[in-house]
Amino acid sequence: MGDPTQQAHDWEPGILPSGLFWTIPITPAAIVVNPMSGTATLRASNLSVPDYGNFFNAISPAPDPPPVPSHVSFEVTWPGHGAVTDIDDDVFDFSGRYVISDATIAFTASNDGSSIVYQSNPDGQISFDAGVGRERNGIFH
């Protein structure tokens, strides 16, 4: 982890009063997945999220300074065609079959009212053991 005092942006949905954090609903059409081949794509365009500036401000009960209205777009791609990994854990009543491969993300973000657009560098990405598959966890299948 880098020096958090050097962080200038933290685009994320925040923490709800219920305690649910960094999660927002998106349309089911945003994801296309094939668990058998391990391929998947998750896309969002012009998603409204605040910019808290840094992680510590984002987790503060009273962010200071207040977050800046912003928008992000991203596309995460799992190409599949990797090794198949099976997991079976009787202690926690969990099992799954995953196709492991590298994943990539294209990401852009900007604060509303600013002409500056931040974007990911596709050549600088590293992904290890990203998996797509099917799992069973307790009563959830």
- Residue by residue, DSSP assigns 125-136 as ----SEEEEEEE
The number of helices, as runs of H, and strands, as runs of E, in the chain is 1, 8
Q: How many domains does the chain have?
A: 1
Domain that holds residue 30: 4-137
- Kindly report, residue by residue over 34-69, the tens digit of the pLDDT: 999 999 999 999 999 999 999 999 999 899 999 999
**What pLDDT is attached to residue 41?**
96
Task: Please answer whether residues 64 and 72 qualify as being in contact, where contact means their C-beta atoms are separated by less than 8 angstroms.
Answer: no
Joined together, the tokens standing for residue 70 give 């912003």
Q: Give me the half-sphere count of Cα atoms (radius 13 Å) on the Cβ side of residue 16.
A: 8
Spatial CA neighbour of 99 closest among 134, 136, 76, 131: 131
Spatial CA neighbour of 65 closest among 52, 50, 83, 49: 52
Whether this model's pTM surpasses 0.75 = yes
Distance, CA of 29 to CA of 43 (rounded, Å): 9
**What pLDDT is attached to residue 57?**
93
**What pLDDT is attached to residue 138?**
75
**What pLDDT is attached to residue 140?**
62
Distance, CA of 97 to CA of 104 (rounded, Å): 21
**What pLDDT is attached to residue 83?**
92
**Helix residue spans in the chain (DSSP H):** 55-58
**What pLDDT is attached to residue 129?**
80
Ranges of the chain with pLDDT below 70: 1-2, 139-141
**What pLDDT is attached to residue 31?**
96
